[in-house]
Structure 1
Amino acid sequence: MNGATARVAVACGCELGEGPQWHAVSGRLTWCDILGRRLHWLDPASGETGHRALDQMVSLAVPIAGGGMLLVGEDRLARFDPTTGVLERFCDFEAGNPLTRGNDGRVDRHGSLWLSSMGKGAELGAGRLYRLHRGTLVELRAGLTIPNAICFSPGGEVAWFTDTASGVVMRWPLDREGWPLGEPAPWADFSAQPGNPDGAVVDAEGHLWLALWGAGRVVRLDPQGREVDAITLPTSQPSCPAFGGERLDRLYITTAREGMDAARWREEPDAGHLFVAAPGVPGLAEPTLRLA
């Protein structure tokens, strides 16, 4: 076991940091402060960092094939050009439901975006899981509370996800075009352990790195769902990991200070910052999103 410890990469103080994504073309990592309505970025090579204010809660910014990003918001998906600052609606996203917002998401091995929604107050069963395939949004599953941990095996034959409230990570077989086959099955059960499963990413060896919200850990799980390594953070609420850097050998981890009172924040002054660790294994290159 590597047993690495994470250190602060950017002291951004997000209320709810989420959705870290490595953008290989620009050499930047982006992540969102959902509740703070900001899109953050980091250039690891130069150390430069910055952020942009947004007009709604955005949970994810994924690179699009051909340039630009797609932002997952409260009621819409929008194309964003970071060079010009132009933001254009792409399509509605639960636009008729003001109680929900976007949450987790990741591009699959076919260049399609899996994304989820959840209630703004984590209302029971208000969330859904979708796939945006070649510009068409398709609902995959309803009745979820906090859908998270969306990630894919190196060959694209399996997807994982969780309903954080359940404590169980599910494994879902996929067909050759990346569509689900049958029903998902329980794969790793954290319901009796400290922390709840949140965001996840898969490394080059097909192992899954899973953030445990409330436990201050990101655990590495083998293909059978067994913990084989872990990264410790000095704050309790890690939300999602992502591999980044030129060699994809750094694991960046978003965190949150959501729900912390003043006393708790004094105990965890680094809550909400972006962290980085050296996991000892590289990540997989994430496909860019194909909209056509």
Structure 2
Amino acid sequence: MMEQVPTSILSNDPCHLGEGPTYDVTTDTAWWFDIREGRLFEAHLGSGAIRVHALGRMASALGRIDAERQLIVAEDGLYVRKLADGVMTLFLPLEADKPDTRSNDCRVHQSGTFWIGTMGKKAEPKAGAIYALHRGKISTLFSGISIPNSICFSPDGGTGYFTDTARAVLYAVPLNPATGLPRGEPEVLLRHTGIGGLDGSVCDADGNIWNACWGASRIDVYSPQGERLRSLGVPAKQASCPAFVGPDLSRLLVTSAWQDMDAAARAADPQAGYTFLLEASARGRAEPDVELA
């Protein structure tokens, strides 16, 4: 059964491809990206104030370094961004020699290791990969990925999850909790069937996986065993990624997109690309800081 929980619009500035939401509990600030338009959104939830930053390049995710800096994952590399003035400095290149690829889904492991997904700008088959930034160096975890999504981690840090949306399979990978690096091969946790596709995910404090079902106007919640527990309605067809927000991390921020919609499709889905807040009664977890060395 689809739950219709109280839902509000956080931003009605439609994102071409909204992605990469995260929340800084120390400042009550949510961040997310419009990948296609090279924009970074900053929303202070308490006041409702929203700022939009032009990045000058496609970017899809960030990790908090400390109170003054963020690490931005962009189409050509990783950039340190200063919050005070927005100045971005290249930290490490990533696929800078591949102009046809860009970053996509990413998330920081509890150890501070950053998992980073890339893909073709036209979703070319097997053009992307999933990398790990660990102790200042980038290594390849999984190659031949078409559309990397659902990167998230169990509360104890011992399991990582990811999908290649094109394969409609969510994988579970055993990890070293101290490093966030694999210590075994990916295994199939669940196979998605029916309407929509697996997009971005986040794990709650109980280890449940909250997944945005692209094309189906919903968030699905799965147990660590792959059983679907809940489905929450989202007022836009192409929900793309969730994040836990609010002082008690019980609310769910959900990004969406109008990508690949013609005029008729957008008219039928008038809130496509909006960013929403769902009163989800979640038991969320705060995102860890990324470690650069």
Q: Secondary structure at the match of 2:182?
A: coil
- Offset at 1:2? 8.8
- Offset at 1:66? 5.3
Would you say the 8 A contact 2:252–2:282 is kept in 1? no
Residue 94 (structure 2) pairs with residue 131 (structure 1):
no
Match of 1:182 among 181, 184, 192: 184
Residue 211 (structure 2) pairs with residue 210 (structure 1):
yes
Query: Who is 1:44 aligned against?
Result: 45
Would you say the 8 A contact 1:4–1:277 is kept in 2? no
- Offset at 1:182? 2.1
User: Which of the pair is proportionally richer in strand?
Assistant: 2
Which one is further off, 77-86 or 29-38?
A: 77-86
Query: Who is 2:62 aligned against?
Result: 61
Would you say the 8 A contact 1:2–1:279 is kept in 2? no
Query: Who is 1:289 aligned against?
Result: 290
Q: Secondary structure at the match of 2:206?
A: coil
- Offset at 1:247? 1.1
Residues of 2 paired with 1:152 and 1:4: CA distance?
Answer: 27
Residues of 2 paired with 1:230 and 1:277: CA distance?
Answer: 12
Query: Who is 2:8 aligned against?
Result: 7
Which one is further off, 64-73 or 208-217?
A: 64-73
Would you say the 8 A contact 1:7–1:275 is kept in 2? yes
- The code of the aligned residue for 1:112 comes to T
- The code of the aligned residue for 1:3 comes to E
C-alpha distance after superposition, 1:39-96 (max 9, x if no partner): 0011110110110111110101221135311111111110101212211111101111
Query: Who is 2:147 aligned against?
Result: 146
- The code of the aligned residue for 1:233 comes to V
Q: Secondary structure at the match of 2:176?
A: coil
Residues of 2 paired with 1:103 and 1:184: CA distance?
Answer: 20
Query: Who is 1:116 aligned against?
Result: 117
Query: Who is 2:160 aligned against?
Result: 159
Q: Secondary structure at the match of 1:205?
A: coil
Query: Who is 1:173 aligned against?
Result: 174
The 5-angstrom pairing of residues 253-264 of structure 1 reads 253-264=254-265
C-alpha distance after superposition, 1:154-178 (max 9, x if no partner): 0000000000001110000112432
Residues of 1 paired with 2:66 and 2:173: CA distance?
Answer: 26
Would you say the 8 A contact 2:2–2:233 is kept in 1? no
Gap regions ≥5 residues in structure 1: none
Would you say the 8 A contact 2:79–2:88 is kept in 1? yes
Residues of 2 paired with 1:262 and 1:199: CA distance?
Answer: 25
Query: Who is 1:96 aligned against?
Result: 97
Residues of 2 paired with 1:135 and 1:66: CA distance?
Answer: 19
Gap regions ≥5 residues in structure 2: none
Q: Output the aligned Cα RMSD.
A: 1.3
Residues of 1 paired with 2:149 and 2:39: CA distance?
Answer: 20
Aligned-pair identity in percent equals 40
